[in-house]
Amino acid sequence: MSLKDRENIILEYLHQNREASVDELCAKFFVSKPTIRRDLKALAEAGKIIRTHGGAFLSSFPGESVPQELREKEYIEEKDVIAKKCLDLIHDGDSVMIDASSTCLQLIKLLSAKKAIVLITSSTKAPFISAKTGVKTFVTGGEVSKTSFSYIGSIAEETLRKFNADICFFSVCSLSPDGLLTNNSTSENQLGRVMLEKSKKSVLLLNSQKIGEPKLNTLCTLKDVDFVISEKDISDKFPEYKEKFI
């Protein structure tokens, strides 16, 4: 089967299933993982699909982010390492703002290790986690994003502005080599700007795999955040901001 034929069948398969893992595609085409990864890379570079850690999914519209349900399955060990590091920055009695990223959801599971924490979040999933741990939680409400399961829009922003947090934790789709923090969603970026404005300290949670080309819209730059937490030391890539990295 030619490369072109295989790519067309991959696209047809994704049209039917929306997502697929590398293992699924290897079994379907009887080819190696490196071959499938090359095919997916070519399709992603052509803008026809979006790559995930273990496979790919078919975008419904240009600039779409990887859906939350897929992101929650990726880099689980790395997210756990990042979340545990966050606890060193949180003190008993703190008010904590958290976005709807999958890494932040990992952190919510650990917040009960601290006393009298107040959680403020735009995540639709967070209350189901915090309710089990007994952490007092305020949720913004607003329009629901179909990909991130985050509340977005004016209602969410107005609610956030009513709170003053000690610290906020957030993630982005990409950190560019020149220090731009970017996402595909302009509405989620707007909410992120409010979080940064209403928090005394800000912490970027960043899987090292997210260092790369900027996405559609810039949230802020490295100079605008207080700390960056990754699963491993990446400070040498940003020597100007080395002191921010944990």
Whether pLDDT at 203 is above 60: yes
- In 3D space, the residue among 105, 54, 52 whose CA is nearest the CA of residue 80 turns out to be 105
pLDDT value, residue 75: 67
* Percent of all residues in the chain with a pLDDT value above 90, rounded to a whole number: 56
Average pLDDT over residues 194-222: 93
Listed in sequence order, the DSSP H helices in the chain are 3-17, 22-29, 33-45, 68-71, 76-86, 102-108, 126-133, 154-160, 186-197
Of the candidate CATH numbers 3.40.50.10490, 3.30.930.10, 3.40.50.1360, 1.10.3720.10, the domain formed by 76-244 belongs to 3.40.50.1360
Q: What is the mean pLDDT of the chain?
A: 88
Average pLDDT over residues 91-116: 94
pLDDT value, residue 59: 59
- In 3D space, the residue among 119, 112, 105 whose CA is nearest the CA of residue 87 turns out to be 112
CATH code of the domain occupying 3-59: 1.10.10.10
d(CA 69, CA 81): 20
Render 183-205 in DSSP notation, one character per residue.
Answer: ES-HHHHHHHHHHHHTEEEEEEE
Convert the pLDDT of each residue in 54-98 to its tens digit.
788 775 544 445 555 555 555 678 889 999 999 999 999 999 999
Convert the pLDDT of each residue in 145-200 to its tens digit.
877 789 999 999 999 999 999 999 999 988 999 999 998 889 999 999 999 999 99
Structural contact between residues 99 and 196, judged by C-beta atoms closer than 8 angstroms: no
pLDDT value, residue 95: 98
- Structural domain boundaries in the chain: 3-59, 76-244
Same fold: 3-59 with 76-244: no
Cα separation values, 177 from 75, 104, 206, 239, Å: 21, 23, 13, 11
d(CA 10, CA 165): 46
pLDDT value, residue 193: 97
Instruction: Determine phi and psi for 16, rounding to 5 degrees.
Output: -85, -35
**Furthest CA-CA distance within the chain:** 62
More confident position, 6 or 160:
160
d(CA 238, CA 106): 26
Range from 8-12, 20-24, 219-223 that averages highest in pLDDT: 219-223
